[in-house]
Structure 1
Amino acid sequence: MKVRIKTKEEIARIREAGSILAECHREISKMIGPGITTLEIDGFVESFLAGRGATPEQKGYRGFPFATCASVNDVVCHGFPGDRKLEQGDIVTIDIVVNKNGWLADSGWSYRIGEVSDEAEMLLSATEKALYAGIAQAVPGGRMGDIGYAVSRTALEAKVGVVKPLIGHGIGRSMHEPPDVPNFGRPRTGLRLQSGMVITIEPIFTGGETGAVYWGDDGWTIRSADGSLGAHYEHTLAILDDGPVVLTK
């Protein structure tokens, strides 16, 4: 399927969804902490978006029942919100896709619950660093492999694992559009990047160096195979003539 290049007007519509999403994450950062449940956060997100004329695109997607993905500790992606109270030392990723007037933006962020272990801090820092390393490579004339190499090199330096089955993607009117944006690759290989592409970059790492994962019985929840912590940072960005512009900042 062909990669669809977005116009300035279309990118502005995605940016509108992205600004709502960024504001939502800012509010989550204020409320998240020991004692709150991810189900309470999920309810907040749904209400917050409704108040801004937006909807959570995940809800109902292939039967997914919630407004957010909430992934705690060894859950690396697509976790179900639940009624367990978050505890000091947990890490939790809240992943949200916002639909505003038919245009989508996607951003996941990992949050520290109070003080976290040195291992957790190292994993979180490396994963966030990898996100921005990948974004820096999203320039016209570059290659998709440049993004993936920058992400995986950060993991290698930090001695953490890349979850290779989980990747970034194009986005616009659909949640997942071409192209795929892997978190690994070789420099100067792969699809040539063009101005007008809108993609997500989303490194997903585990504390264990293999990055191996397994799917839970619910068909959604993905956990690290070795029980190590998972972290996930994601932005939606547009590739423009003068470089990448984050739309969910």
Structure 2
Amino acid sequence: MIELKSAGELDAMRLAGKVVATALRAVAAGAAVGTSLRELDEIAAGVLADAGARSSFLHYQPGGAPSPFPAVLCTSVNDAVVHGIPNGYRLRDGDLLSIDFGAEVDGWHGDAATSFVVGTADQRDLDLIAVTERALAAGIDAARPGNRLGDIGHAIGGIGRAAGYGLLADHGGHGIGRAMHEPPSVPNEGVAGKGLRLRPGMVLAIEPMLVAGGGDSYRPAEDGWTLCTFDGSRAAHAEHTVAVTSDGPRVLTTE
């Protein structure tokens, strides 16, 4: 069942969204050459502690996952698309890093992600990130009452495919609220005018995941969580938690 949130409940979710935005900004500021992924996780954990919030990710174990997720932050480097576990890897000049973070405040969740280059950037990586962010913006703009889920997927997929990028197979966004993952699934490709009709009060985590090599296939890493591009090409991930309202899309994961 899809739960429609009231205006007051959206305001409550906004508090979680602010914590998410603050953490992503702090992690990005700390992501320098030589910094370990584990140190970035510690930065994110500190933001949670300061806000009196809880992690949406730590100990999370959906069906099919080999073990509970062991961190508060996902850190995906270069060919890792999503769900990367923070470890002792130290960032190198030119790494493309995607960070994904979720926070819970008073029983409500927020979830967002961003990608950037550490140190010296290759223009191809900057282009990939820019298109991913543009696809996210288009998906958000389609999250309006009367539109359908297919309109969001059509907006995201159209931009990604036109640029020659792949879209991570079998992965997309999701509903969010009292749980981090709620119905409905939000596809990153779709047919305009098809699918579930969007209604005010629906809250969606919209998250394009684009692959530079143009393919959609992926392989799981040995840790059982990280998903890597099958062809070894780089990937980018961008995400916001977005409320469907009668006044248009409301992004909840900004500062």
Does TM-score exceed 0.5, indicating one fold?
Answer: yes
Q: Given that residues 100 and 111 in structure 2 are in contact (C-alpha distance below 8 angstroms), is that contact kept between their aligned partners in structure 1?
A: yes
Name 1:44's counterpart in structure 2: 43
**Selected match of 2:167 from 139, 162, 179:** 162
TM-superposed CA distance for 1:217, in Å, is: 2.6
Structure 1 residue 180 and structure 2 residue 179: aligned?
Answer: no
In the alignment, which of 203, 206, 210 is matched to residue 201 of structure 1?
Answer: 206
SS at match of 1:47: helix
Q: Distance in 1 between matches of 2:118 and 2:55?
A: 24
**Where in structure 1 do 4 or more consecutive aligned residues deviate above 4 Å?**
none
Q: Which residue of 2 aligns with 1:71?
A: 76
Q: What is the Cα deviation at residue 29 of structure 1? A: 2.4
- Quick one: distance in 1 between partners of 2:93 and 2:224? 28
**CA shift for structure 1 position 85:** 1.2
Contact 2:22–2:47, Cα closer than 8 Å, also in 1: no
The offset of 1:164, in angstroms, is 2.7
* AA aligned opposite 1:73: N
Q: C-alpha displacement at 1:94, in angstroms?
A: 1.0
Residue 107 (structure 1) aligns with = 112
Instruction: State whether residues 164 and 182 of structure 1, in contact with CA within 8 Å, keep that contact through their aligned partners in structure 2.
Output: no
Counterpart in the other structure of 2:12: 13
1:80 matched to 2:89? The reply is no
Report the CA distance between 1:51 and its aligned residue. 1.1
> What CA RMSD, in Å, does the superposition of the two structures yield over aligned residues?
0.9
Q: TM-score, normalised by structure 1?
A: 0.97
Unaligned runs of 5+ in 2: 62-67
Equivalent position to 1:124, from 122, 129, 146: 129
Q: State the AA in 2 paired with 1:212.
A: S
Match of 2:246 among 235, 241, 246: 241
Deviations 1:135-174 (A, max 9, x none): 0100000010000001001111111111131110000010
- For structure 1, which segment, 215-224 or 137-146, has the greater mean C-alpha deviation from structure 2 after superposition? 215-224
Note if contact 2:26-2:44 (Cα within 8 Å) is conserved in structure 1: no
Q: Which amino acid aligns with 2:109?
A: L
CA distance in 2, matches of 1:182, 1:211: 14
Is the 8 Å Cα contact of residues 214 and 224 (structure 1) preserved in structure 2?
Answer: yes
CA distance in 1, matches of 2:176, 2:235: 24
Classify the secondary structure of the residue corresponding to 1:148.
helix
Which whole-Å CA distance do the structure 2 matches of 1:85 and 1:216 have between them? 18
Unpaired stretches in structure 1, ≥5 consecutive residues:
none
Identity between Structure 1 and Structure 2 (%):
40
Partner of 2:157: helix, strand, or coil?
A: helix
Measured after TM superposition, the shift of residue 21 of structure 1 is 1.0
Q: Conserved in 1, the CA contact under 8 Å of 2:23 and 2:43?
A: no
Partner SS state of residue 61, structure 1 = coil
Deviation at 1:27, TM superposition (A): 1.7
User: What is the letter of the counterpart of residue 4 of structure 1?
Assistant: E
